């Protein structure tokens, strides 16, 4: 507050009327509201600017055909609320159980209006501070050594009202339509305005530019009434079930693939749109030709003088004229409102629609400016879910936690557990955590070991790209090594050209877990925190540098990693070998024996039995352990000392090692899922 | 190199020589000459000289004259020509040595082509000498040479028979063998008596090399069964020298004949794989179990002999053959990593956690959970308000330790069935993580006891049925309990009041206060809150407080401590103690002076970090011992050690302790001193002395003075991982060799799509387009949309891009 007052007074002195807030959020879409929620819960001074009169204005218009392609799975057979978020792609994170999307729609692919209603409720029920009808039209910096980041952000709205903030969270999404310019592009209709009434397309021949979900969504809508639809784009169609990327073409929209492959007149073509040209004939039909044919032409001549490809090549594919050409090329970030001093630069290559940011979601050039939501997707474009609600709700939380630590001295939330709970903690998280699951390869749980590995500290969902900066970003110390728990797909499994249904695609045996293809937990062990250099030089395709040891938990058909022998046992062995200790659990009786026969006790006995929390166990369990050869039964009356003398010391341990009865995995069942 | 005259004059009777005649230049014979020169040294070993005879040009004698004679080599013994070889039969050193020896050892090595020939030879040999029968797929091979070389050495001892007929090999009963590889059988014809039966055969398992044949024949020549009458550790036989194990059949006078037969039977089975010795126990003083009947000595140095109890001869054979198998695997390991994997995995994927394994073996049994209420996020809070006391077990349905506790918990539920005011319930944290987080459950399992609308207590005792039941019952009674009358107070000390607790063994504490001493009373009440469930505490501040405390020789404020149902009551004066001090004092005072140590109560005594003086007893200890030990324990107020006793009937694992201390079970009772926390030495009180306070004290003095030798010392070993983990990192590196490299450029990446990135560029995201580019460029012809404008243009553009490169 002191700072705020100070800042306000400063503003007044300089003559301009600034309204000051610690945090300014631009955009009251899903990510802006998500950020507002966390700021509100933390009691921070913030405001959200929204140019429309209501939140989520993008969803009021888009998708044009109103069907969201993010799943709203209302039933999972489980009550675990964290787990259920794995299959709820629309809800934002909050403590309020009313704000679960399944209360807003019964549809698996809900109507976009449900999202609008949901966002309205989210803002109002949680009393988020959103200033509507405020369009920020300019953002600039004011240098000030006193400011959190060495500068303040000065925002100007459409009414020339100025605002001043210490930290700027950009949650504007990508809403500027991508357009291409080529001769004849004036005949092209945009996705934003094209009619959505199929009647308007009856008996027409349509060319769609673009190969994304909006293009297919448009095609799907008019498929039944058109003569035929052709689609053109530079890249081949990428199917999301083949790439594991939800931004690629979803099966729900791919009706046109069906009719193309079944030769029902519709079709797909590849080619660069910039080489294209469209000419309109006298009847108003649109013909496709090539830009370089036009370049050689006398512009004054009419349509008849234009060379069409079919003049030279009489089986040219798109020789039939079109009635309409529709552009469905997606959106890009609005770079226009930022002063040059902020240096908001577009990304490279296929990421040019997003601003350049670091893996911490902070702008590459302006400290204190964070990009949230869809616009932050450059971090994991075509990889993970950071461009979608079910992904950025977690990255937004991560950004909030980074800010809490940076500006308010609130370290990253963590819990401390005794080392005996290590295996359990990991198993619990990999089975239920939704952030790890959705933001696979991007967000990771971090386990910081305490001295002598007797305890550990658990941090959830840290952006793994800034692992090297962990200590400064979280306020937690990592002097004794760490584990990084992350989820990954198999490295060579998915991709545009791969067959994701090949036989034996699923690995069933724990010993081959590293070859798992489907999403599965991976645990990296580092004896010390990787440096930034090591992060930079990490192997290609790896989210992290080479660890000191790595463990893959074998993929599971049910994504249920709680099998004692296939999942937990190999994980325990991995942890034991990293920590150089024995993490088995023991009945009180075994601890009693160890207490009298060994100078040292295993951690389970030390942290349980010795502290009077021994696991006595029921008689039935004791008998099972004896039958398994893992516990010696001394009640036998016949005791003639017939063991060889060498098994004297640590005989129990010997017993544990030698007498295990092999339990062969049922391999045919394990692999049955491939059939 | 000699001239013909020189050569023929140099020939000595009985000496063999191989000669090759040539005119000076004969280019075609050059490679042959090389081979023959190379074989000179090998043949030298067999006393055969190799000579190149230079024919003068004009010579037209027998060997130099004819043109085709020059394409041959001649073998002479003395000056007698034995054989002439066409040079193409002598293509390398093996063929030269094999053929030359074959010719020379005409009598020693019989070549047979039919089964009848073989049988004739065999029959002729019966009772006289043994036969070595070899099959080689072709003559002139390395195997053929090996057989011939062996025949050179052993030809006088055994009759060698050679064949190249595959059918013969099959007829001799080697159906399974592959005719493309050579075989060698040792036929034991010397002992054969039955003319009708073929001789017993022992096939050689290894490939035919000179060394292997030599080894095999040596083994065949060794006595079938060696009789031994010395320490087996000192015995050495040809088998051990050749790297094979030696099996001892342990024999006794009474069973000698049978044992001898057994030994011979086993020896025949193991011939070539292991030696067999017959060891008479009567003649050797062996410190081994009477039951042992077989011993195995392996050729490796320093490996002790294993004594075993085996049921039948098959087991003996498996013992040796498996040993060989294991060895084989070990040998193959370096070549074959899969095998290694397999071998390691045999252990790695076997559950070695006793709790996890016990729980998974029990998982099919349906637990009697009717008495335990399932709570959910919705019902949790309302349920807590319904009953005076709600016990909640927080667990996870996949976590073994909490499932083990759930089993005990069902037993608790059974004990407490119908107890008024107590509700047993459970929350599965896998289903309701929100509840568990809110209730601050950071460990699984956790048990909390909620008092209606008030506080909750975390259970911190043993996860046993008895302990938990007692805790729940004791915590039902307010702690401390206000006693209204002197009768109640006395009844309380006797353990009769409150009546619902009379069946639970516990120590009762009674605080006696005069009304004035409120400070001590407050501390006492606070201590009661902390200790609730573990002890029972009563409080009396009635009119007779003074009288009551006087009875136990203290004055208020005072603490009366009643052990074992009020049979002994101790009075302790209270001074100005804080609640924490009082808790500590009560915990300490409620410990027994000379306790019977059990699995459940050991931790309470362990915490002092003192040595233990334990009397192990099979059943109850005698009154005498008890009295003496009690005297000893009481007599040392500073308690330098924990004196206790252990009932092996009640705590059978004590036998495990004794087993670890002493190789054999000592006679009971036995008194042991263990420095658990310092050095880990174990001392045994001399069994000839009687257990009296005086004897023990003087023994302890001697211990302190270092005059006694410890029976054993506890292992100081750390608890290391029981087994290695899967080394995925290594597997990945083997499969993807570029992994450890610090990458700068990716293979096959397309630079035109990726202009040099700024330092710190996002390497993780950059790879994917490369595949795409490739796919587009290559564009398989079958799929090509021939003649589309886009495709045409793309081709155009590509050309441009390449020119830029």
- Per-residue confidence (pLDDT) for residue A639, from 0 to 100: 44
Taking alpha carbons only, the member of A285, A280, A288, A293 closest to residue A316 is A288
Q: Are A13 and A170 in contact (CB under 8 A)?
A: no
Q: Are B27 and B33 in contact (CB under 8 A)?
A: no
pLDDT band at A675 (very low <50, low <70, confident <90, very high): very low
Total CB pairs under 8 A between chain A and B: 402
Give the nearest chain B residue to A639 (CA atoms). Answer: B665
- Per-residue confidence (pLDDT) for residue B766, from 0 to 100: 38
Per-residue pLDDT of B21-34, as tens digits, reads 777 655 556 677 77
Read off the pLDDT of each residue in A184-213 and give the average, rounded to a whole number.
92
Q: A153: which 2 tokens?
A: 């952000």
Q: Are B386 and B392 in contact (CB under 8 A)?
A: no
Q: For residue B38, is pLDDT > 90?
A: no
Strands B422-428 and B446-451: unpaired
Which chain A residues are within 8 Å of B721, Cβ to Cβ? 573, 576-577, 580-582
Taking alpha carbons only, the member of B790, B408, B171, B679 closest to residue A615 is B408
Q: What is the dotted CATH code of the domain comprising A185-329?
A: 3.50.50.60
Q: What is the residue-averaged pLDDT of chain A?
A: 87
Cβ pair A290:B652 closer than 8 A: no
Q: Does B338 touch chain A (CB under 8 A)?
A: no
- Per-residue confidence (pLDDT) for residue A647, from 0 to 100: 39
Per-residue pLDDT of A109-120, as tens digits, reads 999 999 999 999
- Per-residue confidence (pLDDT) for residue A592, from 0 to 100: 95
Cβ pair A540:B350 closer than 8 A: no
pLDDT band at A637 (very low <50, low <70, confident <90, very high): low
Q: Does B166 touch chain A (CB under 8 A)?
A: no
Residues 393-412 of B with CB under 8 A from A: 396, 398-401, 404-405, 407-408, 411
Can you tell me whether residue A174 is helix, strand or coil? coil
Q: Does B96 touch chain A (CB under 8 A)?
A: no
User: For chain A, how are helix, strand and coil distributed in percent, rounded to 5?
Assistant: 35, 20, 45
- Per-residue confidence (pLDDT) for residue B120, from 0 to 100: 85
Q: For residue A86, is pLDDT > 60?
A: yes
Residue B99 CA, chain-centre distance (Å), reads 53
Fold classified for A19-176+332-402: FAD/NAD(P)-binding domain (3.50.50)
Q: What pTM was estimated for this model as a whole?
A: 0.71
How many helices and strands, by DSSP H and E, does chain B display? 28, 29
Cβ pair B765:A610 closer than 8 A: no
Q: Which of B443, B467, B743 sits opposite A537 (nearest CB)?
A: B743
Query: Hey, what domains does chain B have and what are their CATH numbers?
Result: 4-89 (3.40.30.10), 107-220 (3.40.30.10), 222-323 (3.40.30.10), 365-473 (3.40.30.10), 593-716 (3.40.30.10)
Q: Does B355 touch chain A (CB under 8 A)?
A: yes
Integer Rg of chain A from CA? 30
Which DSSP string corresponds to B526-575? HHHHHHBTTBEEEEE-STTHHHHHHHTT--SSEEEEEEGGGTEEEEEE--
Cβ pair B764:A513 closer than 8 A: no
Express as a percent the part of chain A with pLDDT over 70. Answer: 90
More confident residue, B20 or A438: A438
Q: Which residues contact B115 (CB under 8 A, 6 or more apart)?
A: B167, B168, B171
| Range A49-52 contact pairs with CB under 8 angstroms and sequence separation of 24 or more | A49/A24, A49/A25, A49/A130, A49/A131, A49/A134, A49/A135, A49/A136, A49/A155, A49/A157, A49/A163, A50/A130, A50/A131, A50/A132, A50/A133, A50/A134, A51/A133, A51/A134, A51/A135, A51/A136, A51/A158, A52/A28, A52/A132, A52/A133
Can you tell me whether residue B486 is helix, strand or coil? helix
Query: Nearest CA to CA, how far is B432 from chain A (Å)?
Result: 5
First CA to last CA distance, chain B:
70
* Cα B38 from Cα B48, distance rounded (Å): 13
Query: Nearest CA to CA, how far is B724 from chain A (Å)?
Result: 6
- Per-residue confidence (pLDDT) for residue A380, from 0 to 100: 93
Cβ pair A660:B786 closer than 8 A: no
* Cα B392 from Cα B438, distance rounded (Å): 14
Cβ pair B680:A272 closer than 8 A: no
To test the contact with chain A by mutation, choose from B447, B743, B762, B763 the residue with the greatest count of A C-beta atoms within 10 A, namely B762
Can you tell me whether residue A578 is helix, strand or coil? helix
Which chain B residues are within 8 Å of A431, Cβ to Cβ? 398, 430
Read off the pLDDT of each residue in A194-205 and give the average, rounded to a whole number.
93
Q: Does B243 touch chain A (CB under 8 A)?
A: no
Cβ pair B790:A660 closer than 8 A: no
Q: Which residues contact A210 (CB under 8 A, 6 or more apart)?
A: A191, A231, A233, A327, A328, A329, A330
Q: Which of A497, A597, A621 sits opposite B657 (nearest CB)?
A: A597
Q: For residue A356, is pLDDT > 70?
A: yes
Q: Which residues contact B297 (CB under 8 A, 6 or more apart)?
A: B232, B233, B235, B240, B245, B246, B247, B248, B305
Segment among A414-428, B509-523, B603-617 with least mean pLDDT: B509-523
Q: Which residues contact B746 (CB under 8 A, 6 or more apart)?
A: A540, B767, B770
- Per-residue confidence (pLDDT) for residue A206, from 0 to 100: 94
Read off the pLDDT of each residue in B449-477 and give the average, rounded to a whole number.
87
Taking alpha carbons only, the member of B424, B366, B364 closest to residue B395 is B424
Can you tell me whether residue A496 is helix, strand or coil? coil
Cβ pair A269:B716 closer than 8 A: no
- Domain ranges within chain A, ordered by starting residue: 19-176+332-402, 185-329, 413-579, 588-627
Cβ pair A271:B789 closer than 8 A: yes
Cβ pair A616:B408 closer than 8 A: yes
Strands A455-463 and B536-540: unpaired
Q: Which of A290, A359, A585 sits opposite B401 (nearest CB)?
A: A585
**Residue at token pair 């407490």:** B416
Which chain B residues are within 8 Å of A383, Cβ to Cβ? 764-765, 768
pLDDT band at B289 (very low <50, low <70, confident <90, very high): low
Q: Are A75 and A159 in contact (CB under 8 A)?
A: no
Q: Does B776 touch chain A (CB under 8 A)?
A: yes
Q: Which of B349, B376, B680 sits opposite A510 (nearest CB)?
A: B349
Which chain A residues are within 8 Å of B355, Cβ to Cβ? 584-587, 615, 617, 621, 625
Taking alpha carbons only, the member of B338, B660, B785, B33 closest to residue A512 is B338
Cβ pair A599:B716 closer than 8 A: yes
Q: Does B756 touch chain A (CB under 8 A)?
A: no
Strands B159-163 and A455-463: unpaired
* Cα A304 from Cα A298, distance rounded (Å): 11
Most distant CA pair in chain A, distance = 114
Per-residue pLDDT of B423-448, as tens digits, reads 999 999 999 999 999 999 988 899 99
Q: Which of A81, A495, A564 sits opposite B434 (nearest CB)?
A: A81
**Same fold yes or no, A19-176+332-402 and A185-329:** yes
Cβ pair A510:B355 closer than 8 A: no
Query: Nearest CA to CA, how far is B797 from chain A (Å)?
Result: 9
DSSP one-letter code for A566:
I
SS3 of A5-56: the string is HHHHHHHHHHCCCEEEEEEEEECCCHHHHHHHHHHHHCCCCEEEECCCCCCC
Which chain A residues are within 8 Å of B654, Cβ to Cβ? 634
- Per-residue confidence (pLDDT) for residue B227, from 0 to 100: 85
Express as a percent the part of chain B with pLDDT over 70. Answer: 83
Q: Does B778 touch chain A (CB under 8 A)?
A: no
**Residue at token pair 């999942």:** A567
Per-residue pLDDT of B619-650, as tens digits, reads 888 888 888 888 888 876 556 888 899 999 99
Q: For residue B527, is pLDDT > 50?
A: yes
Read off the pLDDT of each residue in B176-185 and give the average, rounded to a whole number.
77
Segment among A602-606, B169-173, B230-234, B536-540 with least mean pLDDT: B169-173
Cβ pair A80:B442 closer than 8 A: no
Cβ pair A316:B788 closer than 8 A: yes
Query: Nearest CA to CA, how far is A204 from chain B (Å)?
Result: 21
Q: Which of A318, A564, A603 sits opposite B789 (nearest CB)?
A: A318
Q: What is the residue-averaged pLDDT of chain B?
A: 79
Q: What separation in angstroms does the CA of B196 have from each of A539, B122, B123, B179?
A: 75, 11, 9, 27
- Per-residue confidence (pLDDT) for residue A302, from 0 to 100: 63
Dihedral of the CA atoms A505, A506, A509, A515 (nearest 10)?
Answer: 60
Cβ pair A383:B753 closer than 8 A: no
Cβ pair A614:B771 closer than 8 A: no
Which chain B residues are within 8 Å of A654, Cβ to Cβ? none
Residue A188 CA, chain-centre distance (Å), reads 34
Q: Which of A292, A497, A632 sits opposite B771 (nearest CB)?
A: A497
Cβ pair A432:B430 closer than 8 A: yes
Which chain B residues are within 8 Å of A663, Cβ to Cβ? 350-351
Residue B706 neighbours by CB distance under 10 Å: 7
* Cα A8 from Cα B55, distance rounded (Å): 122
Q: For residue B657, is pLDDT > 70?
A: yes
Residue A626 neighbours by CB distance under 10 Å: 16
Q: Are B306 and B254 in contact (CB under 8 A)?
A: no
**Residue at token pair 């087994």:** B723
Q: Does B724 touch chain A (CB under 8 A)?
A: yes
Per-residue pLDDT of B115-143, as tens digits, reads 888 888 888 888 888 889 888 888 888 88
């Amino acid at each position: 507050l002191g700072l705020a007052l100070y800042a306000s007074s400063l503003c007044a002195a300089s003559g301009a009327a600034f309204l000051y807030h610690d945090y300014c959020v631009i955009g009251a879409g899903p990510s802006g509201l998500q950020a507002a929620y966390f700021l509100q819960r933390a009691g921070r001074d913030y405001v959200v600017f929204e140019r429309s009169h209501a939140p989520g204005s993008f969803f009021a218009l888009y998708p044009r055909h109103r069907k969201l392609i993010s799943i709203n799975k209302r039933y999972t057979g489980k009550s675990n609320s964290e787990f259920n978020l794995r299959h709820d792609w629309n809800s934002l994170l909050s403590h309020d159980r009313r704000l679960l999307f399944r209360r807003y729609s019964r549809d698996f692919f809900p109507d976009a209006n449900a999202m609008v209603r949901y966002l309205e409720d989210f803002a109002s029920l949680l009393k988020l501070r959103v200033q509507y009808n405020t369009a920020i039209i300019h953002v600039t910096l004011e240098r000030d050594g006193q400011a959190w980041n060495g500068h303040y952000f000065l925002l100007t709205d459409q009414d020339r009202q100025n605002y001043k903030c210490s930290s700027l969270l950009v949650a504007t999404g990508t809403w500027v339509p991508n357009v291409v310019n080529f001769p004849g592009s004036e005949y092209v209709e945009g996705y934003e305005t094209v009619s959505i009434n199929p009647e308007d397309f009856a008996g027409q021949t349509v060319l769609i530019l673009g190969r994304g979900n909006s293009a297919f969504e448009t095609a799907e809508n008019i498929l039944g009434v058109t003569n035929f639809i052709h689609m053109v784009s530079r890249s081949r169609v990428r199917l999301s079930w083949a790439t594991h990327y939800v931004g690629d073409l979803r099966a729900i929209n791919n009706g046109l693939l069906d009719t193309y492959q079944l030769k029902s007149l519709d079709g797909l073509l590849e080619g660069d749109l910039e080489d294209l040209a469209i000419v309109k004939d006298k009847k108003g039909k649109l013909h496709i030709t090539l830009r370089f044919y036009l370049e050689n032409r006398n512009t004054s001549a009419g349509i008849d003088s234009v060379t069409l490809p079919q003049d030279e090549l009489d089986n040219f594919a798109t020789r039939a004229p079109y009635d309409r050409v529709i552009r469905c090329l997606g959106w890009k970030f609005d770079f226009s409102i930022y002063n040059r001093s902020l240096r908001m630069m577009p990304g490279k290559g296929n990421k040019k629609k997003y601003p350049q940011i670091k893996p911490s979601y902070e702008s590459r050039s302006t400290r204190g400016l964070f990009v949230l939501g869809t616009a932050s997707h450059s971090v994991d474009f075509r990889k993970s879910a950071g461009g979608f609600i079910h992904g950025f709700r977690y990255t937004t939380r991560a950004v909030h936690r980074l800010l809490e630590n940076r500006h308010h001295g609130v370290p990253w939330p963590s819990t401390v557990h005794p080392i005996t709970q290590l295996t359990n903690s990991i198993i619990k998280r990999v089975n239920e955590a939704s952030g790890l699951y959705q933001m696979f390869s991007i967000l990771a749980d971090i386990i910081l070991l305490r001295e002598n590995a007797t305890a550990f500290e658990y941090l959830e969902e840290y952006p793994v790209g800034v692992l090297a900066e962990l200590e400064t970003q979280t306020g937690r110390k990592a002097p004794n090594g760490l584990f990084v728990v992350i989820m990954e797909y198999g490295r060579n499994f998915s991709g545009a050209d791969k067959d994701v249904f090949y036989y034996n695609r699923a690995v069933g045996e724990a010993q081959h877990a590293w070859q798992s293809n489907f999403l599965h937990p991976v645990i990296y062990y580092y004896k010390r925190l990787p440096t930034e250099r090591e992060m930079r030089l990490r192997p290609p395709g790896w989210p992290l540098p080479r660890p000191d040891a790595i463990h893959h938990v074998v993929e599971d058909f049910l994504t249920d990693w709680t099998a004692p022998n296939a999942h937990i046992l190999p994980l325990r062995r991995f942890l034991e070998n990293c920590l150089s200790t024995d993490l088995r659990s023991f009945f009180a009786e075994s601890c009693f024996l160890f207490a009298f026969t060994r100078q040292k006790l295993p951690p389970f006995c030390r942290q349980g039995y010795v502290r009077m929390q021994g696991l006595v166990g029921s008689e039935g369990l004791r008998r099972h352990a004896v039958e398994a050869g893992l516990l010696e039964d001394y009640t036998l009356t016949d005791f003639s000392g017939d063991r060889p003398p060498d098994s004297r010391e640590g005989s129990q341990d010997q017993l544990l090692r030698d007498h295990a009865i092999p339990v062969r995995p049922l391999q045919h069942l394990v692999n049955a899922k491939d059939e | 190199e000699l001239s013909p005259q020189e050569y023929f004059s140099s020939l000595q009777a009985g000496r063999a020589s191989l000669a090759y005649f040539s005119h000076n230049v004969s280019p075609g014979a050059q490679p042959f000459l090389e081979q023959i020169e190379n074989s000179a040294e090998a043949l030298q070993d067999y006393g055969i000289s190799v000579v190149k005879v230079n024919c003068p040009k004009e010579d037209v004698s027998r060997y130099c004259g004819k043109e085709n004679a020059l394409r041959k080599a001649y073998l002479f013994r003395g000056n007698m020509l034995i054989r002439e070889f066409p040079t193409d039969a002598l293509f390398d050193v093996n063929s030269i040595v094999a053929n030359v020896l074959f010719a020379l050892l005409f009598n020693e090595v019989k070549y047979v082509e039919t089964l009848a020939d073989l049988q004739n030879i065999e029959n002729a040999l019966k009772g006289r000498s043994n036969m070595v029968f070899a099959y080689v797929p072709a003559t002139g091979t390395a195997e053929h040479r090996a057989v011939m070389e062996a025949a050179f050495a052993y030809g006088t001892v055994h009759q060698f028979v050679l064949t190249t007929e595959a059918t013969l090999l099959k007829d001799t009963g080697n159906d399974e063998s592959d005719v493309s590889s050579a075989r060698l059988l040792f036929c034991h014809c010397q002992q054969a008596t039955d003319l009708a039966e073929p001789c017993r055969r022992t096939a050689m398992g290894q490939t035919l090399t000179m060394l292997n044949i030599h080894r095999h024949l040596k083994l065949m020549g060794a006595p079938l069964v060696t009789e031994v009458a010395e320490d087996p550790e000192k015995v050495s036989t040809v088998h051990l020298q050749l790297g094979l194990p030696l099996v001892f059949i342990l024999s006794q006078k009474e069973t000698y004949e049978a044992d001898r037969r057994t030994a011979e039977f086993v020896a025949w089975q193991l011939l070539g794989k292991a030696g067999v010795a017959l060891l008479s126990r009567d003649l050797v003083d062996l410190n081994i179990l009477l039951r042992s009947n077989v011993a195995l000595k392996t050729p490796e140095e320093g490996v002790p002999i294993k004594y075993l109890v085996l049921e039948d001869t098959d087991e003996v054979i498996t013992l040796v053959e498996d040993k060989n198998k294991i060895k084989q695997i070990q040998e193959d390991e370096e070549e074959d990593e899969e095998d290694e994997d397999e071998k390691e995995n045999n252990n790695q994927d076997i559950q070695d956690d006793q709790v996890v394994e016990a729980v998974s073996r029990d998982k099919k049994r349906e637990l009697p959970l009717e008495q335990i209420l399932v709570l959910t996020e919705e019902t949790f809070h309302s349920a807590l308000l319904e009953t005076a006391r709600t016990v909640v077990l927080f667990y996870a349905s996949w976590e073994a330790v909490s499932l083990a506790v759930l089993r005990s918990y069902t037993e608790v539920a059974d004990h407490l069935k119908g107890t008024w005011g107590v509700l047993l319930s459970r929350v599965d944290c896998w289903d309701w993580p929100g509840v568990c987080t809110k209730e601050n459950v950071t460990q699984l399992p956790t048990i909390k006891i909620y008092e209606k609308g008030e506080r909750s207590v975390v259970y911190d005792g043993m996860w046993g049925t008895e302990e938990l039941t007692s805790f729940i019952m004791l915590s039902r009674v307010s702690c401390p309990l206000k006693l209204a009358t002197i009768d109640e107070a006395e009844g309380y000390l006797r353990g009769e009041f409150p009546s619902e607790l009379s069946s639970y063994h516990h120590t009762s504490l009674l605080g006696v206060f005069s009304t004035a001493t409120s400070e001590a009373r407050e501390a006492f009440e606070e201590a009661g809150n902390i200790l609730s469930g573990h002890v029972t505490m009563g409080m009396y501040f009635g009119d007779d407080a003074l009288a009551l405390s006087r009875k136990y020789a203290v004055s208020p404020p005072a603490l009366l401590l009643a052990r074992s149902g009020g049979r002994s009551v101790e009075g302790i004066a209270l001074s100005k103690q804080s609640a924490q001090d009082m808790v500590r004092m009560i915990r300490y005072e409620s410990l027994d002076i000379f306790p019977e140590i059990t699995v459940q109560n050991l931790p309470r005594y362990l915490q002092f970090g003192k040595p233990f003086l334990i009397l192990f007893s099979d059943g109850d200890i005698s009154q005498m011992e008890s009295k003496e030990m009690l005297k000893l324990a009481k007599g040392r107020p500073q308690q330098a050690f924990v004196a206790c006793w252990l009932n092996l009937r009640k705590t059978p694992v004590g036998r495990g302790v004794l087993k670890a201390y002493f190789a054999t079970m000592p006679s009971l009772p036995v008194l042991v001193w263990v420095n658990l926390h310092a050095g880990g030495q174990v001392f045994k009180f001399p069994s000839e002395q009687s257990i009296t306070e005086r004897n023990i004290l003087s023994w302890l003095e001697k211990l302190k003075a270092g005059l006694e030798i410890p029976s054993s010392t506890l292992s100081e070993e750390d608890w290391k991982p029981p087994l290695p983990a899967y080394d995925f990192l290594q597997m990945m590196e083997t499969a993807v060799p570029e992994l450890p490299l610090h990458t700068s450029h990716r293979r096959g990446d397309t630079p035109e799509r990726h202009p040099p990135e700024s330092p710190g560029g996002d390497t993780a995201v950059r790879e994917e387009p490369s595949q795409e580019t490739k796919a587009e460029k290559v564009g398989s012809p079958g799929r090509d949309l021939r003649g589309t404008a886009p495709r045409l243009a793309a081709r155009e553009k590509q050309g441009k891009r390449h020119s830029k490169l």
